Chains A and B, each alone.
Chain A
């Protein structure tokens, strides 16, 4: 690894309409290193990427690329200087072929007027050979898996003589094997002298890949250094600004069984999943993407029902074939993607709160407006949603408050079983703790709580039982005495117990 600096940022500040997204960020990326940019959600990571790639120009501070100070950079300038960004959604064209997706940007850059398909194929083959990808170049992108789409995006980025490759949360949608392959490719690119910046906030992944680390919090630079300088404690402290003081959740052992699931299977998603949940328990389900963690939640809520197996809720066997079955059996579900699946962003807090329970308000042939408003006010107070009244649209709320509205929507249906997929994604630290304490209170009241998450510290602290999924099968049932490093190793299967796979 050379010590030569490729990109340097000093005191970069940026604000949007009074909101300070970046309040002075320093960053130094050396040639041929893998640099991790870490921080909680909303710490300014994406704004920083946009400043580097020329989408936003900083209000204050300076950017040096290759020793040269640049000002008023446009996206095209950044590309010409060898900076390539791979966004979370990859920005690929689903309707075009692999070869075209890879080569189109280059053609566009050269301002060619005509398309030479032979050349496009050559460029694509060359790029794919460089990263060791093996994808049929004539297939349309809409048929590719997420990992292969990402591969195409990487190929597209490197053909134009990239010097710095920025990957925004590249592993969120990958399975374990795909993550391994991605890391291999990243390392081979590094060996070619390309600097890599990865935005990530998962400690176990950072340890496996990064050389150096920079941590941001609240738009401010916190610390930076070699990966070896960080242990778990310092990492968490720098990320959250708090020491790990939160107690692990320890319920009183209860005897009443709330939920029992036996041999639940859905073809292609998960098989033979069994677990049980007693009064006071908070069950965590974890696993990498594609391990079936999310699919179990979807099956219990009837979105994509299980093919076989038995579900016993409060001592009664129930069958869930659709969302209405699930709701009739008083099951609530907070989906993974709050923005598109959980909320009606344009509508008021009140509308969102009563969305799943609107039928309760039908009185004497018409809707009870007053009742709806009272309910919403009750939940605003009960859950500590920061809003002046039930009227403002949900889009005006912060991530944490919006998530509380989703939770309120389901609590208002008085569920017996409450499933939450990624309950604190994009939620700030304070609201995160509040949401967790809400869930603990519910569990103590005898409501079955299932948290599906890949945020391992969250699970270890808040669940007293953790179900680990791997490739559609249950690979272990833990209590929370396990530490997150061991848990992390279990997920990817790189622990010593890898032999159990048959």
Chain B
């Protein structure tokens, strides 16, 4: 009886529903556009998912700890713009480590600011990070202007041209290279999956998200853990922004603005609850896959480009409703 219940629960759990939705999506897309079923789609999907995946993991950590961070796009913009600006104004060396180092330092500064506002001053996370966002974005443009850097320094160009594999479409002869940087989100996911499950740091983040008062009584350093979450988010988002610059050959002051919407949605669709304490790397990966699939392949379903914003919004809304219905179902289920 109990086992039977669990089995049903697994089949209707959030990750399984995501898998069903993706399967249905792929089948419809494949029927409408047989070209969908080609390795090229997969390679494109991987490329498109790199940033989303990294950002989503950052956001996930903050959401699990019971907060939210809407400032990472602005922080990312600072992080991708400042090193390029320095390089182009003759203030830096042409070295991959330099670029990433400067980017992550910028991320650290704003991460500390977020952590300070939320954990020490106890401001509501949404408003605190919105403020950080405008400080970062406004300050950046005010001080450094709005230029667009479209040529990469040689060292980044070299990084860009390392490919893991290249798929050549036999019909069209197009090349679909898969960059080495795809390893970053993969490694990040594996490491974070380990950290969240097998270290006291990770369990502490879950604990403060679940009940910060109980965590305090148990002896967790709640402030420190919140700080770590926001700093991690800032630093990792900055590194991701640098990857963005490398892959897109572009660094502007506003390139990432507005990304937060999709990322938060990917986390929520993947089972993170905005109240904190729930969610995990596995679910987030599924959420990101779904969002990336929908964002990049809506035209395969015959939806015109101009309606894609709306369609993505609809998917997000359904995801939010789904996760709320699931939470309600669990709370209504007989207590044991």
Residues in A lying within 8 Å of B, measured CB to CB: 75-76, 87, 91-96, 100, 104-105, 107-109, 112-115, 117, 135-136, 139, 142-145, 148
Contact = CB atoms under 8 A, between A and B. Distances in A.
B200 A144 contact: no
Interface stretch (B22-30, B125-133, B202-210): B202-210
A105, A108, A112 — which one has the most chain B CB atoms within 10 A of its CB?
A: A108
A267 to B, nearest CB: 13
Contacts of A143: 330, 333, 335-336
B90 interface: no
Given A92-B211, A136-B336, A142-B331, A104 B277 contact: no
A105 B207 contact: no
B16 interface: no
A87 B216 CA distance: 14
A81 B303 CA distance: 67
B32 interface: no
B4 interface: no
Contact of A108 (B197, B220, B333): B220
Given A139-B336, A143-B335, A93 B200 contact: no
B278 interface: yes
Nearest to A79: B219
A104 B203 contact: yes
A106 to B, nearest CB: 10
B214 A145 contact: no
B201, B213, B218 — which one has the most chain A CB atoms within 10 A of its CB?
A: B218
A100 B220 CA distance: 14
A108 B200 contact: yes
Nearest to A112: B200
B197 A115 contact: yes
A90 B200 CA distance: 21
A400 B35 CA distance: 74
Q: Which 4 A-B pairs rank lowest in CB-CB distance, beginning with the nearest?
A: A95-B277, A95-B210, A91-B214, A145-B335
A104 B213 CA distance: 15
Nearest to B215: A93
A283 to B, nearest CB: 30
Contacts of B210: 93-96
Given A94-B211, A96-B203, 15 more contacts: A87-B217, A91-B213, A91-B218, A92-B214, A93-B210, A95-B206, A95-B209, A108-B219, A113-B201, A114-B198, A115-B197, A115-B199, A117-B198, A143-B335, A148-B336
A14 to B, nearest CB: 19
A113 B199 CA distance: 6
Contacts of A112: 200
Contact of B219 (A76, A113, A135, A139): A76
B220 A93 contact: no
Nearest to B276: A95
Contact of B199 (A91, A95, A114, A139): A114
Interface string B292-336: 000000000000000000000000000000000000001101011
A429 B213 CA distance: 32
A74 to B, nearest CB: 10
A217 to B, nearest CB: 28
A136 B6 CA distance: 12
B211 A114 contact: no
A112 B197 CA distance: 14
A96 B211 CA distance: 10
Contact of B200 (A94, A115, A145, A148): A115
Nearest to B199: A114
B304 to A, nearest CB: 42
A87 B214 CA distance: 10
Contacts of B218: 91, 104-105, 108
Contacts of A144: 335-336
Contacts of B203: 96, 100, 104, 115
